[in-house]
Structure 1
Amino acid sequence: MHEIEHVLHFERGILYTIRELVINPGQNIRNYLSENRSRLVKPIIFIIITSLIYSILTSFFHIEEKYVRFEGNEESAIAKIFKWVEGHYGYANIIMGIFITMWLKVFFRKFGYNFFEILILLCFVMGMGMLIFSVFSLLQGVLHIHLMNVGGILGIVYCTCAIGNFFGKERGIHYVRAFFAYILGMITFSVAAILLGVLIDIFFKH
Structure 2
Amino acid sequence: MNQENSSESDKQIKRIDAHYISHEIQHLLHFDKGFPFTFKEVLLRPGKAVREYLRENREKYVKPIVFLIFAAVIYTFIIHLFHIEVLIFNINGFSGTLQWEHNIDTEVINKWIDSHVGYSALIIGFFMAIWTKIFFYRKGYNIFEIFVLLSYVFGVFFIVLLFFLLLSKLTGLLIITKIGVILLQIYFVGAIGQFFGEKNILNYGKSLICLFLGIVTYKYSLILLAYLIHLI
Contact 1:51 1:130 in 2 (8 A): yes
| Counterpart mapping for 1:70-149 below 5 A | 70-71=91-92, 77-146=105-174, 147-149=176-178
Per-residue deviation, 1:3: 5.5
Aligned counterpart, 1:22: 43
Rounded to whole Å, the distance in 2 between the matches of 1:38 and 1:105 is 26
Partner of 1:176: 205
Question: CA deviation digits over 1:121-159, x for unaligned, max 9?
Answer: 000011111112111011112222212211111111111
Aligned partners of 1:17 and 1:41 also within 8 Å: yes
- Which residue matches 2:180? 151
Query: Aligned pair in 2 of structure 1 residues 64, 9: CA closer, same or farther (>3 Å)?
Result: closer
> Does residue 1:46 correspond to 2:75, yes or no?
no
Deviation string, structure 1 residues 23-81 (Cα, Å, up to 9, x no partner): 321111011112222211111111111122222232222222322233387x9543211
With 139-148 and 175-184 compared, the bigger mean Cα shift is at 139-148
1:104 & 1:57 partners in 2: Cα distance?
31
Aligned letter for 1:128?
V
Quick one: distance in 1 between partners of 2:170 and 2:223? 34
Per-residue Cα deviation, 1:60-117 (whole angstroms, up to 9, x for no partner): 22222322233387x9543211221111001110111000001101110101111111
Is the contact made by 2:91 and 2:222 (CA closer than 8 Å) also made in structure 1? Answer: no
Measure, in 1, the Cα distance between the counterparts of 2:31 and 2:91: 38
Does the 8 Å CA contact 2:91/2:223 hold for their aligned counterparts? no
Unaligned runs of 5+ residues in structure 1 are none
1:119 alignment partner, SS class: helix
Taking the aligned partners of 2:108 and 2:26, their CA distance within structure 1 comes to 32
Native 8 Å contact 1:77 1:198 kept in 2: yes
CA change 1:65–1:23 in 2 (3 A) is closer
Paired-residue identity, %: 34
Using the size of structure 2 for normalisation, the TM-score is 0.80
Aligned length: 202
**Aligned partner of 1:54: which letter?**
Y
Tell me by how many angstroms 1:16 deviates: 0.5
State the Cα distance separating 1:6 from its structure 2 match: 4.5
User: Bigger radius of gyration, 1 or 2?
Assistant: 2
Unpaired runs of 5+ in structure 2? 1-20, 93-97
